[in-house]
Structure 1
């Protein structure tokens, strides 16, 4: 069992579901993004998914795209990002940080170097949503060498054979996209009986030995409650960014407490 999976297993003994929040590094400034990450960790989030911005974030909806473009008005570099979030990882040991970005900036940085530097900074997971697993042999080898979990994504339209393959190869946790499309507003339906989302997660669970995180479109307490007993991590992205944009850290924390506090 990887360090990340062991952390999730231990935390899940205390909570019905874990929280993962998404923050764009450098938005609206580097220091403000780091301050927001620190505040979230002080508030007790279990994970922060730190996105190193890219000009064409194809999986992301308008809120995160706008944040990435604003962040890229500054001169950002991957190594500095890793050093700065590594300090947060050391300062707040009850939480974990995973780095998310797209292949282009990470490939330019060097995938082996990325895994090595992530390990040095105690960043235990990497998410590259546009890197197909079939073309990732060297990346997987680098991650294995440095004991980093490459986190794969599956969606409701992933073909069954491919879903089984991705779930079977997952470690750390498997990122389960809750619905088709980009991040942002939810198409969840309020239903008391079994929903297609339940069927989808049950199908994944047949093949995945790693924990399961679910994201895309989570905005209401009922969405989080629907995942309890079916997933290990609820991932809050665009909704948290929208709250932050509207009312700063306090509005973001209020949303977090509304969704995750019993």
Structure 2
């Protein structure tokens, strides 16, 4: 049965444009503000929302997202409260896809079966768990798909043609192409290289490809959206929120707008992107 993620990408393909995928950390800087931000994202132009699961040792994340997770944990965020956050959001929005992104340890501690049941009941559509390789699919990926959740894999510039089939074997929803090696928040990727890499991945899968890492503004997003099924932005949003906080790390009257305003600007870039010609054109097929 198609998920909200499947339906959203299919609808955007008919529109002939890329999706804007936005990342925010659950509970940053507090649960109430986090919920207000979530509720504001679809209206600002987010097509898919990734919600970070706060964790004490986020090895793939840069300083900004690490700090966001620590702020959330300090404010009392837990995995159970993250699921409650999604459920509260879902009470007013039954259409926007929600993907939980993070690490396996909190899920393992929660219990895989209980987590998948509660995630599905809360209205979660997919998972990105960055520290579970395909060789461990039986641990979470296969059970998640059996529970009706998409399990989204990351591909990187070092994922070669020999490795790709294994990475894609149980992937569903979309493929998240990390456009550079390193941690989140690193320098912007080389656009030409990204285009070539995505074309290569497309030869292995019919899934949509969303490109992330290094997206800071509307111009970055527009460039990627010309050759992408989706553009992912996370660190820039986390940094915008951080800049709105007071000296004690507390939200202020501008905090929600700092995030939704940037999303609106980036969404405009995504929607204004013009497809390039040839086999990479949106007129022939969507690629990332």
Q: Which runs of 5+ in 2 are unaligned?
A: 245-254, 273-288
SS at match of 2:216: coil
Q: Which runs of 5+ in 1 are unaligned?
A: none
Deviation digits for residues 205-233 of structure 1, max 9, x if unmatched?
Answer: 11122111111111132322222343211
1:244–1:35 CA distance, 2 compared to 1 (3 A): same
Deviating above 6 A after TM superposition, structure 1's stretches of 4 or more consecutive aligned residues are none
Q: Are residues 1:259 and 2:256 paired?
A: no
1:208–1:48 CA distance, 2 compared to 1 (3 A): same
TM-score normalized by the length of structure 2: 0.83
Q: Are residues 1:71 and 2:72 paired?
A: yes
Q: Are residues 1:207 and 2:204 paired?
A: yes
Partner of 2:62: 61
SS at match of 1:137: coil
Structure 2 CA distance for aligned equivalents of residues 240 and 96 of structure 1: 18
Partner of 2:286: none
Structure 2 CA distance for aligned equivalents of residues 37 and 146 of structure 1: 24
Contact 1:170/1:209 (8 A) holds in 2 = no
Partner of 1:85: 86
Structure 2 CA distance for aligned equivalents of residues 183 and 76 of structure 1: 21
Structure 2 CA distance for aligned equivalents of residues 212 and 48 of structure 1: 15
Structure 1 CA distance for aligned equivalents of residues 114 and 179 of structure 2: 32
Structure 1 CA distance for aligned equivalents of residues 204 and 160 of structure 2: 13
1:15–1:90 CA distance, 2 compared to 1 (3 A): farther
Aligned length: 258
| Residue 66 of structure 1, CA deviation | 0.7
TM-score normalized by the length of structure 1: 0.91
Contact 1:178/1:197 (8 A) holds in 2 = yes
SS at match of 2:99: strand
Deviation digits for residues 40-84 of structure 1, max 9, x if unmatched?
Answer: 123231111111100111111110011111211133332232122
| Residue 249 of structure 1, CA deviation | 2.5
SS at match of 1:2: coil
Q: Are residues 1:26 and 2:27 paired?
A: yes
Structure 1 CA distance for aligned equivalents of residues 31 and 89 of structure 2: 13
Structure 2 CA distance for aligned equivalents of residues 159 and 69 of structure 1: 34
Contact 1:41/1:95 (8 A) holds in 2 = yes
Partner of 1:216: 213
Structure 1 CA distance for aligned equivalents of residues 142 and 263 of structure 2: 36
Structure 2 CA distance for aligned equivalents of residues 83 and 254 of structure 1: 25
Tell me the C-alpha RMSD between the 2 structures. Answer: 1.8
* Higher deviation after alignment, 92-101 or 102-111: 92-101
Partner of 2:280: none
Partner of 2:229: 232
Structure 2 CA distance for aligned equivalents of residues 108 and 91 of structure 1: 30
Deviation digits for residues 8-53 of structure 1, max 9, x if unmatched?
Answer: 1113323511111111111111111111111112323111111110
| Residue 175 of structure 1, CA deviation | 1.0
Structure 2 CA distance for aligned equivalents of residues 119 and 49 of structure 1: 15
Partner of 1:117: 118
